[in-house]
């Protein structure tokens, strides 16, 4: 076992945490692109144990999350409340249904190394699996049920107790204004080549403020939301195939439930990934949308107001539109934010997302009927 990985002295970092067992192995883990993640396996003194004690060690990327301590404060609030709700409900196997942080040697939820990096360690939940792409309505139902349960468990936690760690993350009106500034600046002389895409975005300006206006009027409350509701952030139990819990809590902060549900629609109910260049292949799968709506409302429905339920279908359109606007803005600014593999990558992503917006618009009445029914 080497001591260093990715220029980090993993063993020294692990010593900052209150590990009771000797480290046996560690290795990079997962396919995430933001944080540095390692799976730590420890030797066990119990010869009858079926698995070695294991932990997930992560370095928070402070270039993406510029307030890493606020991120950790949010996670602590959420996990404490979540655990308490499960206990009150008499849930069994709590350690498999709610992520657990391992404290540092001085009792904190995070450690800071000599270079100023912020680290945290979670207990690893064994005998689980994740799914990257939803293929069946049953998968969609179960994933949405998991995110709905997450919402239901945190319904009583005041959103104001959490920090907005990425300011304006889903403030679609601000995203639209950023696009306008990029058009006016035309810093890379690309505006003339994307007139149709710009016109599409301009034609949807009114949509960008609709939910924000309802929030300002008090009709849509701020909730504790996950803000990264992709299916691969749900852990499934190997033995039962049922969802156990939601993970990847870095973006948990105040938001609207329509944002969480909308991102599920954008990523899970489409016929093509967002990098698909043939927009003729981009459509909305209504069977998957129906399953998402049924799963989410089956678990979160009782905690949501009627106005929130009515906003869910539109949330799918809005978040898809927002993502297209963000891709187009980045393209006009010279591809400075999203990683790209070729010159037109962000433009292709833009066209893809706008095609999905059109498909959602064509089916929005039926989507709204399915949700409200």
pLDDT at 135: 86
Cβ atoms < 10 Å from Cβ of 123: 15
Asked whether 92 and 25 are in contact (CB, 8 A), the reply is: no
pLDDT at 13: 94
Buried b (16+ CB within 10 A) or exposed e, 225-245: bbbbbbbbbbbbbeeeeebbb
pLDDT at 183: 98
Q: How far apart are CA 352 and CA 278, in angstroms?
A: 8
Q: How far apart are CA 222 and CA 283, in angstroms?
A: 31
SS3 245: strand
* CA-based nearest residue to 131, from 267, 233, 248: 233
| CA distance readout (Å), 322 to 5, 65, 174, 179, 235 | 37, 20, 10, 10, 27
Lowest mean pLDDT among 45-54, 66-75, 212-221: 45-54
pLDDT > 70 in the chain, percent: 96
- Domains, in order of start, for the chain: 4-126 (3.30.200.20), 137-372 (3.90.1200.10)
**Phi, psi for 79 (deg, rounded to 5):** -65, -40
pLDDT-derived band of residue 15, with 50, 70 and 90 as boundaries? Answer: very high
pLDDT-derived band of residue 5, with 50, 70 and 90 as boundaries? Answer: low
Q: How far apart are CA 157 and CA 175, in angstroms?
A: 28
Asked whether 76 and 101 are in contact (CB, 8 A), the reply is: yes
pLDDT at 133: 87
Lowest mean pLDDT among 67-71, 294-298, 334-338, 357-361: 334-338
List Cβ neighbours of 342 (8 Å cut-off, separation of 6 or more): none
In the block, which residue shows the tokens 């833009």?
Answer: 350
pLDDT digits (tens, 9 = 90+) for 329-342: 999 999 988 889 99
pLDDT digits (tens, 9 = 90+) for 300-316: 989 999 999 999 999 99
Q: How is 178-191 classified by DSSP, letter by letter?
A: HHHHHHHH-TTS-G
Tell me the average pLDDT across 95-106: 95
Q: What is the pTM of this model?
A: 0.91
pLDDT digits (tens, 9 = 90+) for 176-188: 999 999 999 999 9
pLDDT at 6: 59
């Amino acid at each position: 076992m080497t001591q260093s990985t990715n220029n980090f002295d993993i063993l020294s970092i692990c010593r900052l945490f209150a590990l009771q067992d000797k480290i046996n192995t560690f290795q990079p883990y997962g396919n995430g692109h933001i944080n540095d993640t390692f799976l730590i396996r420890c030797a066990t003194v119990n010869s009858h144990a079926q698995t070695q004690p294991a932990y997930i060690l992560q370095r928070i990327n402070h270039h993406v999350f510029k307030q890493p301590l606020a991120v950790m404060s949010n996670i602590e609030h959420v996990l404490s409340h979540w655990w308490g709700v499960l206990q009150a409900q008499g849930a069994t196997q709590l350690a498999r249904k709610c992520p657990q942080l391992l404290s540092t040697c001085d009792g904190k939820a995070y450690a800071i190394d000599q270079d100023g990096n912020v680290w945290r360690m979670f207990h690893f939940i064994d005998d689980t699996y994740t799914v990257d792409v939803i293929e069946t309505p049953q998968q969609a139902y179960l994933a949405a049920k998991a995110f709905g349960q997450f919402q239901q468990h945190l319904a009583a936690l005041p959103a104001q107790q959490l920090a907005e760690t990425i300011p304006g993350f889903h403030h679609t009106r601000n995203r639209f204004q950023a696009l306008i500034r990029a058009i006016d600046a035309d810093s890379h002389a690309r505006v003339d080549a994307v007139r149709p895409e710009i016109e599409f975005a301009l034609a949807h300006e009114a949509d960008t403020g609709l939910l924000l206006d309802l929030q300002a009027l008090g009709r849509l409350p701020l909730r504790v939301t996950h803000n990264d509701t992709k299916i691969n952030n749900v852990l499934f139990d190997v033995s039962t195939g049922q969802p156990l819990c939601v993970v990847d809590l870095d973006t948990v902060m105040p938001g609207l439930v329509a944002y969480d549900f909308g991102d599920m629609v954008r990523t899970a109910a489409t016929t093509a990934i967002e990098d698909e260049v043939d927009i003729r292949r981009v459509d909305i799968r209504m069977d998957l949308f129906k399953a998402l709506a049924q799963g989410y409302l089956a678990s979160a429905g009782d905690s949501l107001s009627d106005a929130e339920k009515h906003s869910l279908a539109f949330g799918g359109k809005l978040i898809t539109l927002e993502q297209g606007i963000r891709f187009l803005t980045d393209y006009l600014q010279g591809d400075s934010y999203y990683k790209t593999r070729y010159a037109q990558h962000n433009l292709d992503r833009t066209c893809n997302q706008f095609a999905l917006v059109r498909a959602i618009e064509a089916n929005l009445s039926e989507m709204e009927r399915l949700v409200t029914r």
